[in-house]
Amino acid sequence: MLPDRSGKPWAGHLDSVVVNARIVTLIDVARAAGVSRSTASDALQGSGRVAEATRARVRETAEALGYRPNSAARRLRRADAGALGLYLPRTATRLDYYLDLAFGAVERAQHDGLDVVLLGGPTGSSGPVASRVDGLLVIDPDGSDPAVPKLLDAGVPVVTGERYLGPSRAPIGAVVCDNAASLAAVLDHLRERGARRPALLAPGGDSAWAQTLRVSADAWGTPHGVPVTVRTVPFAATPAQAAEAARDLLTAEPDIDAVVCGPDGAAPGVLHGARALGRTPGADLLVASCVDGTATRTGNPPITAVDLRPADYGQACAELLCDILADRTPPDTVRLHPWKLRTRASTQGGH
Amino acid sequence: MLPDRSGKPWAGHLDSVVVNARIVTLIDVARAAGVSRSTASDALQGSGRVAEATRARVRETAEALGYRPNSAARRLRRADAGALGLYLPRTATRLDYYLDLAFGAVERAQHDGLDVVLLGGPTGSSGPVASRVDGLLVIDPDGSDPAVPKLLDAGVPVVTGERYLGPSRAPIGAVVCDNAASLAAVLDHLRERGARRPALLAPGGDSAWAQTLRVSADAWGTPHGVPVTVRTVPFAATPAQAAEAARDLLTAEPDIDAVVCGPDGAAPGVLHGARALGRTPGADLLVASCVDGTATRTGNPPITAVDLRPADYGQACAELLCDILADRTPPDTVRLHPWKLRTRASTQGGH
DNA sequence: CGTCCGTGCCGGATCGATCCGGCACAGGGC
DNA sequence: GCCCTGTGCCGGATCGATCCGGCACGGACG
């Protein structure tokens, strides 16, 4: 039996005015415009040799008939998928960051006529991804996530957001942030505001972002002659865990006068834990975060943070992948994404 | 020129061991198994009449050769798209809610072998969606969002999350929450905890959720003989706006002893605004939210809220759409999604 | 006037999987 | 021995857009 291509209850209004509505194909356009399929195709594509008058006529006919190219047919012929896959870490934190990033990627991808397919979590590999997407965006790949190597070996080009530090094949491109520099900027800012004994609640996990933060604290402290106390909390730390870590830290080393935490989600917990010990965030204890987000913007007090500009970041990742797919950029390109320090009341100091 | 289907630098490891690797098609499998294309197809599909021994042999050959069906070809022949579109409101709030929901939808869709395509915001319509997806999920459709009518008229079935109240064609299915009941449950809970003068910071906007909340406050208040003061704040209220609204409200009517706010993002603002007036959230002022989220879970104090269980909600939306597409469920089905009240310290009361 | 070349358009082949009608063969019933 | 039924497999057609080779026509030039 032929697949049902006729009218359905959900058919659009265009169909409801025409009896026995059918999908308009290129052949219909060609017939109506009095040309052949090839000419119609060339006219609409901009390819081939077509007289300007013919091209215009075909375009008008297509418009008038409501012609929509069948994407499956086009993809079959062109041997591409017309879509990018997007893999986000399935962590409980930084969610608004990832959603912003996703929409940024969608915006850039549709600029190149590509869809963005949201890939499932580590659980369901959901079958072969190769023939369904032209390339993959893998965001904040964690070295211990078993899904990442599979994606890197799926047979399509992969661009990562942040570097991939795992053992598998390297991605064909990456967009990275200079996390060492942004952490240094935060520590510089805290020093400027009077902090002498900063500490870092570093995120755990095997992502490049987390690893860089853990390593960079020392790299900043040594030349400044200021040891930075580093304590590791889970990547997706709950506020309760963050609060407990902050209490431990401030109890063990009471002269700590500034706390930098990793993801924005942990910041409210730090505020809470500090207050429980009688400290006043923003005054006798400066607080900052390495990631900006709802929690830092709306904190009480609002929390100084590094704005990674997630929507632009997502755009940049999609742009790099599109550029590589279209041969506008050579493989193995790495691009740098700029960040911005948002100074807020939590590092005001001055007590 | 033929599209390049040969080895590429990003080809997977399977290709790197074979010189001149090619994509394995059904014909290759058929030849290797000593049968015709049709038989190979039937054997792998489970359709047609095929001897069990043959079926097993074909399956093994396919596995051994690493055969992956070309999805474009399959979609062309079967006249389907193999994907669902997901349209999320591009609001600045409730982001984690929507991301959880999206992953829920992805999980359910891949159970039916479907991809989920993330649709862009109201700006870029990104061309015709009809031939790229088999159906659409439109979440929290706002009556004033111009993109929604376009999606409803795109020529594919649409399932909405929450009802669509706009003027356009109705969706073919919907998954709804009983928001009147959940608001009533919150108000009941507050009364039980001693509140006598509750107020609602209702969300603005034309979504069914927002409209229901605004209407339901009166519906609860009248039989209880307790007027519920309703003040409308923007749907995507910033904490600052929420704080200001709370201050206004509590200044104008100082005997208000409980505030219910709409989205979770507004709750911290309410806490802040109340404290600025010398009130103590959780003690002499109860606070609750109609949506659970990071902000309510991690608030200080943690805020009682209605958990809409977004991941399950996304699954339910995808499931309804899949069921309708597969004719397992008749069109125009509406399903009810259960919610749960999370009681937390912000409504402890007892001062 | 004959040849050459460039423009404009067209026909057929192609991508890969699916589906339907039909053929061949074996076995059973009369 | 003949017909009839049913199983197992196959060939061709099909989905719709794209792409390449090639044909026809008209102007230019020697």
pLDDT average, residue stretch A237-245: 85
> What's the pLDDT band for A121 if we cut at 50, 70, 90?
low
Rounded to an integer, the average pLDDT of B217-244 is 89
- For residue B245, give how far its alpha carbon lies from the nearest alpha carbon of chain A (Å): 16
Q: Is the confidence at residue B139, as pLDDT, over 50?
A: yes
* Residue in B99, B126, B298 nearest the CB of A99: B99
By CA distance, what is B83's nearest residue in A?
A117
Residue carrying the six token digits 């930075």: A228
The verdict on whether omega for the bond into residue A301 sits within 30 degrees of 0, i.e. cis, is: yes
pLDDT of res. A15? 47
Contacts of A326 (CB under 8 A, 6+ apart): A112
Chain A residues closer than 8 Å to B169 by CB: 13
Mutation site, A99, A117, A291, A325, interface B, largest B CB count within 10 A: A99
In the 30-89 stretch of chain B, whose C-beta falls under 7 Å of nucleic acid strand C?
37-38, 41-42, 44-45, 47-48, 67, 69-70, 73-74, 76-78
Residue found by looking up tokens 């991809």 in the block = B115
Residue with tokens 């094949």: A169
Q: What are phi and psi of A213, to 5 degrees?
A: -60, -45
pLDDT > 90? residue A2:
no
All residues of chain A having their beta carbon less than 8 Å from the beta carbon of residue B96 are: 95-96, 99
* The two three-digit tokens of residue B37, written as one number: 């294309």
Q: Is the CB of B294 less than 8 angstroms away from the CB of A295?
A: yes
Residues of A with Cβ-Cβ distance to B75 under 8 angstroms: 72, 75
Rounded Cα distance, A187 and A105, in Å: 31
Is the bond preceding residue A330 a cis peptide, omega within 30 degrees? no
pLDDT over 70 at B16, yes or no: no
Of residues B70, B107, B153, nearest to A124 (C-beta)? B107
Whole-number Cα distances in Å, B63 to A271, B32, B46, B140 = 56, 12, 15, 43
- For residue A204, pLDDT over 90 is answered with no
d(CA A33, CA A57): 7
- What is the model's pLDDT at position A266? 85
User: Is the separation of the CB atoms in B270 and B254 below 8 Å?
Assistant: no
Q: Which distant-in-sequence residues (6+ apart) come within 8 Å of B40 by Cβ?
A: B26, B29, B30, B33, B58, B62
Taking a C-beta distance cutoff of 8 angstroms, is the pair A87, B146 a contact? no
Which pLDDT does position A264 carry in this prediction? Answer: 81
Q: Write down the pLDDT at residue A254.
A: 94
Footprint of strand D on the protein (CB under 7 A): A 2, 5, 23, 25-27, 37-38, 41-42, 44-45, 47-48, 67, 69-70, 73-74, 76-78; B 1-2, 34-39, 42, 48-51, 53-54, 73, 76-77, 79
Which positions of chain D lie under 7 Å from any protein Cβ? 7-21
Least confident range of A13-22, A285-294, B341-350? A13-22
Q: For position A127, what pLDDT does the model report? A: 66
Q: What is the pLDDT of residue A16?
A: 47
What are the pLDDT digits (tens) for A242-275? 899 999 999 999 999 999 998 888 888 899 899 9
User: For B121-136, what is each residue's pLDDT tens digit?
Assistant: 654 555 678 889 999 9
- Say if CB A43 and CB A50 are below 8 A apart: yes
pLDDT of residue B97: 87
Q: Nearest Cα to A292, choosing from A275, A322, A313?
A: A313
Distance CA A274, CA A246 (A): 7
- Residue A12, pLDDT > 90, answer no
- Is A153 within 8 Å of B80 when comparing Cβ atoms? no
Of the candidates B113, B169, B298, the beta carbon closest to that of A268 is on B298
| B261-289 confidence digits (pLDDT tens) | 988 888 888 998 999 999 999 999 999 99
pTM value is 0.91
Candidate ranges A171-180, B219-228, B290-299; pick with highest mean pLDDT: A171-180
Mean pLDDT estimate for chain B: 89
Distance B50 CA to D2 C1' (A): 29
B chain contacts of residue A83, beta-carbon cutoff 8 Å: 115, 117
A298–B130 CB contact, under 8 Å: no
The bases of strand C with some atom under 7 A from any protein CB are 7-21
**Cα dist from A5 to A108, A172, A280, B326, B332, whole Å:** 32, 40, 68, 15, 21
Q: Which residues of A touch B15 (CB under 8 A)?
A: 155
Rounded to 10 degrees, the C-alpha dihedral A100/A105/A107/A109 comes to -170
**CA nearest to B261, candidates B315, B214, B313:** B214
Q: Is the Cβ atom of B2 within 7 Å of strand C at any atom? A: yes
pLDDT at A93 over 70: no
- Nearest Cα neighbor of A198 from A212, A211, A185 is A185
How far does the CA of A74 sit from the C1' of C6, in Å?
A: 30
The string of pLDDT tens digits covering residues B292-311 is 988 888 787 899 999 999 99
B23 in contact with nucleic chain C (CB within 7 A): yes
Closest Cα in chain B to A117: B117
pLDDT for the residue numbered A301:
87
Torsion sign over Cα A234, A238, A240, A243: positive
Query: Taking the C-alpha atoms of A99, A103, A109 and A110 in order, what is their torsion angle to the nearest 10 degrees?
Result: 150
Q: Which two tokens stand for residue B80?
A: 């389907």
Res A104 pLDDT > 60: yes
Q: What is the pLDDT of residues B68-114, one digit of tens each?
A: 999 999 999 999 999 999 999 887 667 788 999 999 999 999 999 99
Flag if A71 and B132 touch (Cβ within 8 Å).
Answer: yes
**Residue A34: CB less than 7 A from any atom in strand C:** yes
Q: Which residue in B has a C-alpha nearest to residue A105's C-alpha?
A: B120
- The answer on pLDDT for A48 being more than 80 is no
